[in-house]
Amino acid sequence: MVIEEIPYIEPISIGEKYEFSYRGIDYAGKTVLDIGADVGSTASYFLRRGARGVIAVEASKKYFDILLENAKGMRGLCTPMFMKVTEPVQLSSLLDTYKPDVLHMDCEGCERVLLSIKVEEWKNVPEYELEVHYDKDMLFYFIEKFLNIRYEVFLFVIDPINHAWALTAKKIPEKDYEAIPNKGYRM
């Protein structure tokens, strides 16, 4: 389902296809915390697919200024925030304040901050989308961490030449936990 009243905003990376990278989650009715929101292209994508709202966090002043303008066309459903997430306390505060259904992180390395928050905080977010660039060890650490805390993991190769992956993780409902093996991942 695409909601046409929300404007389409072109991704800043030429040729990036969100339909491919972010295909693992149904956004309808969900609140998305979008860290690394660029000019609002991801917020637009999530809202056009039915998200209830997007908290769009961007660290680049250049991109943030454009995000502010673009958010005006998103019917008040996008909350822009200028912030560079570099410390676990910042991420913990965002998670506690906004209680997102989905945490999306594509912030060129700040995904590492997620590795430093408490496991209980990880478990409060039902679904994750992470983009990992260049660091295969970090990618596999995320996969192992999610599997250990009972999330189902899906991995998509975005760019094999430049080593970029999209990782989607969904919390396994308690009632289904025994039915889904806690080893391995799907590619």
Return the CATH number of 25-179, one of 3.40.50.300, 3.20.10.10, 3.40.50.150, 3.40.47.10: 3.40.50.150
pTM above 0.85, yes or no: yes
How far apart CA 90 and CA 134 sit, in angstroms, is 24
Q: Are 168 and 25 in contact (CB under 8 A)?
A: yes
The per-residue pLDDT string of the chain (187 residues; one tens digit each, 9 = 90 and over) reads 566 677 666 665 655 677 766 777 899 999 999 999 999 999 999 999 999 999 999 999 999 999 999 999 998 999 999 999 999 999 999 999 999 999 999 988 788 899 899 989 989 999 999 888 878 888 889 999 999 999 999 888 777 777 778 888 999 887 666 655 554 444 3
